[in-house]
């Protein structure tokens, strides 16, 4: 892939796990297990290509309304994935991935305390890595993220630190969970759905969107190549009349 057209940041909505399992007569939980395998291979492949930032939508704020048994199984998958990652510590050091978890991860929030503690530990262990930033969105919602950033600014204005009339877009971006990272150039959604589903709403203002009917567990490096090829062919105008290259 030509590095001049390689996205600086790719967001991926990992969708279709349940349908994948149902098509095979399997419990939905098996689809989520297969989805974890897809995450691992795509993350590895994209990082090897040299994509600087990847954001994977793993669990949304809306997903808590799913049947308790399914939610519990997903939380157990998080635990098993963390176990696996911790066992491969030496391998992780060589990859030089910085792992970050974004979303509503308050100590008194919905994410189980044992998982939350291990997510924080994983972030700490990889904080000095410099190859690829891997954001994993857990208990994440784009609208909720914007609301949280607005509440932060409201507090600062009430304290006299900021003046409402002088607020800028950068003030809001500084309060987002992706602060300091480039906005996503490309958002990928498999499974046939044609919407963002509350994913990186602020950050995706000028992102290119690529949709596919492939269910996430079947998503392979070849499909990512298709998305990247489509991205490289697009002229990005960012609201102006002058076309810009795929990557500034």
Could you give the 3-state DSSP secondary structure of residue 79?
helix
Q: Beta-carbon neighbour count of residue 182 at 10 Å?
A: 15
Annotated catalytic residue within 2, 17, 48, 63: 63
What size, in residues, is the chain? 248
Annotated catalytic residue within 15, 17, 135, 185: 15
- Cβ burial of 67 (10 Å; 0-12, 13-18, 19+) is exposed
Instruction: Count CA within 13 A, CB hemisphere, residue 234.
Output: 21
Pull the structure tokens for residue 230. 């489509």
Active site residue 63: yes
- Helix or strand holding residue 216 (H, E): none
Cα of 176 vs its chain's centroid, Å:
13
Q: What sign results for the dihedral spanned by CA atoms 142, 223, 66, 74? A: negative
| Residue 56 DSSP code | E
Q: What sign results for the dihedral spanned by CA atoms 57, 217, 39, 210? A: negative
Nearest Cα residue to 100 out of 9, 188, 191: 9
Residues marked active site are found at: 15, 63
């Amino acid at each position: 892939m030509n590095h001049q057209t390689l996205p600086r940041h790719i967001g991926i909505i990992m969708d279709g796990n349940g349908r994948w399992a149902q098509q095979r007569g399997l419990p939905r939980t098996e689809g989520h297990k297969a989805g974890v395998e897809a995450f691992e291979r795509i993350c590895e492949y994209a990082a090897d290509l040299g994509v600087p930032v990847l954001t994977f939508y793993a669990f949304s704020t809306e997903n808590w309304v799913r049947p308790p048994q399914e939610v519990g199984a997903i939380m157990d998958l998080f635990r098993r994935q963390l176990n696996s990652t911790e066992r491969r510590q030496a391998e992780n050091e060589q990859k030089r991935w910085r792992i970050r978890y974004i979303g509503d991860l308050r100590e008194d929030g919905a994410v189980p305390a044992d998982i939350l503690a291990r997510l924080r530990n994983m972030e700490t262990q990889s904080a000095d890595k410099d190859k690829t930033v891997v954001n994993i969105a857990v208990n994440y919602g784009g609208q909720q993220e914007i609301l949280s950033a607005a509440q932060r600014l409201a507090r600062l204005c009430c304290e006299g630190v900021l003046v409402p009339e002088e607020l800028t877009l950068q003030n809001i971006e500084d309060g987002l969970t992706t602060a300091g990272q480039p906005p996503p150039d490309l958002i990928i959604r498999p499974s046939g759905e044609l919407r963002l589903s509350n994913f990186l709403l602020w950050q995706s203002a000028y992102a290119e969107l690529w949709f596919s009917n492939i269910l996430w567990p079947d998503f392979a490096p070849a499909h990512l190549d298709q998305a990247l090829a489509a991205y490289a062919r697009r002229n990005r105008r960012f609201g102006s009349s002058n076309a810009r290259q795929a990557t500034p």
